[in-house]
Structure 1
């Protein structure tokens, strides 16, 4: 089992998410899993070079760290219950959508501070490699939690995301970030598990120094718009684009 925390109270966590928007479960992931995951990422970086890449559905590869964490019974129970509480109408698929994000080298700057809303109800973030470095150059997470409710109409959701995920809007948000430590900026630590309402939380990450590597595993669950053909097509396109980026030398 990858998780060390047993019998997590999903109802209490959901209440905390509603109140604060962000939860850190300290020392939730066993050190042995972290070590395996770090070695796994280092091998990928050796293969692909020190640059940005994103890989989805690695949990389908049996015997890998992504598969171990995703299929952990505690993780599945936790995400299922949180998705049910967070959005009772959400569709709960058999698979948990997973992604590995690696930010490294100069190309990492292009994939940083890209504020967005996730497509799923709940997001769990497991840091694997978090570099030390100057503030705002160490891949810190930036969150604006619970900024919106679930949208009844898919078209409204699409238009809203097109606006707030545009370059001019993202740049505006970044410019307004005050200097110094802010409650919106989260410093991540391998071994901890971080939770937030992905669909409702506007978030991004700061860049990393060109000689550093930041790697996180993301688990998303609960589809608030299961019948949307447009969103499904967009997901297919995004997955295709990310596969292309990952395969580029």
Structure 2
């Protein structure tokens, strides 16, 4: 067992998250930022997201998603959380999210559970001025990892719908609920259980740029037809298969 992964898994269970500080060098961070700036210009200052290894091809985010050390870390965390090995064909699914412009405001306080047991978040651009800097908001470890796909679908129907999201957002904004708020630091890697933890980002000034790379790994329902049919909306919208790849025609 990787000792560092065991420590990180214990921190996730105890605190809701773990941090690997300065996971990437300043040079690599600048490469990631250059890619973001190019994409931000292409999207004319409005929100965008890029899903999948192929769409991110040639970027440092794709290179990290294909790196053996990151996959080994995430696979060990999956094993420690679930007591099982990930599917043999499981790969890291990378996503870039960039909050900017008025459309970026619509992407705040969108509380959800991830499809994968392990989520790694790498901030690239984070605002440092103003009241709202797009903090990561987590309600940690609210549920267990479910290997029964039907039970997961039912739980998401109850906890992961528009009404529930609006109610949670309303309660958080009025401090009736007090989740963990993380001030993100570019270059650090934040690890948490996206499957177990309800999470979202705080709003961000439309004039500012907030960009993060997300690395999803360890889908407990990787081989479930039910899960493919009812879950995985982001992959379907991006026209990717359940492995996060473009289908071969």
Q: TM-score, normalised by structure 2?
A: 0.86
Q: Distance in 2 between matches of 1:52 and 1:8?
A: 39
Q: Quick check: 1:130–1:188 contact (8 Å CA) kept in 2?
A: yes
Name the counterpart of 1:29. Answer: 24
Contact 2:117 2:145 in 1 (8 A): no
Q: Which residue of 1 aligns with 2:166?
A: 171
Contact 1:8/1:78, CA 8 A, preserved across alignment: no
Q: 2:201 is matched with which residue?
A: 205
Which residue of structure 2 aligns with residue 4 of structure 1?
none
**Corresponding residue for residue 221 of structure 2:** 225
Q: CA deviation at 1:236?
A: 5.7
- Name the structure 2 match of 1:247: none
Distance 1:236 1:194, change over 3 A: closer
1:162 is displaced (CA, Å) by 2.0
The partner residue of 1:47 within 42, 46, 50 is: 42
Q: Which runs of 5+ in 2 are unaligned?
A: 240-249
How far apart are 1:237 and its partner, in Å? Answer: 4.2
Q: 1:142 aligns with which of 111, 115, 137?
A: 137
Partner residue of 1:11? 6
- Structure 1 residue 233: deviation in Å? 3.1
Aligned to 1:3: none
> Are the counterparts in 2 of residues 133 and 209 from structure 1 also a CA contact under 8 Å?
no
| Correspondence for 1:127 | 123
Equivalent residue for 2:149?
154
Contact 2:62 2:94 in 1 (8 A): no
Question: Mean Cα displacement is larger for which, 32-41 or 17-26?
Answer: 17-26
SS at match of 1:9: helix
Worse-matched range after superposition: 152-161 or 36-45: 152-161
Q: Which sections of structure 1, spanning at least 5 residues, go unmatched? A: 1-6, 244-249
Q: TM-score, normalised by structure 1?
A: 0.86
- Distance of 1:86 and 1:59 partners within structure 2: 29
Paired with 1:59 and 1:124, the residues of 2 have a C-alpha distance of 19
Q: Residues 59 and 81 from structure 1, CA distance in 2 versus in 1: closer, same or farther, beyond 3 angstroms? A: farther
CA deviation after TM superposition for structure 1 residue 234, in Å? 4.3
RMSD after superposition: 2.2
Task: Please report how far the alpha carbon of residue 68 of structure 1 lies from its aligned counterpart in structure 2 after TM superposition.
Answer: 2.0
Q: Deviations over 1:20-77 (max 9, x none)?
A: 1111121121111110101100000111111111111146755321122122332121
SS at match of 1:78: helix
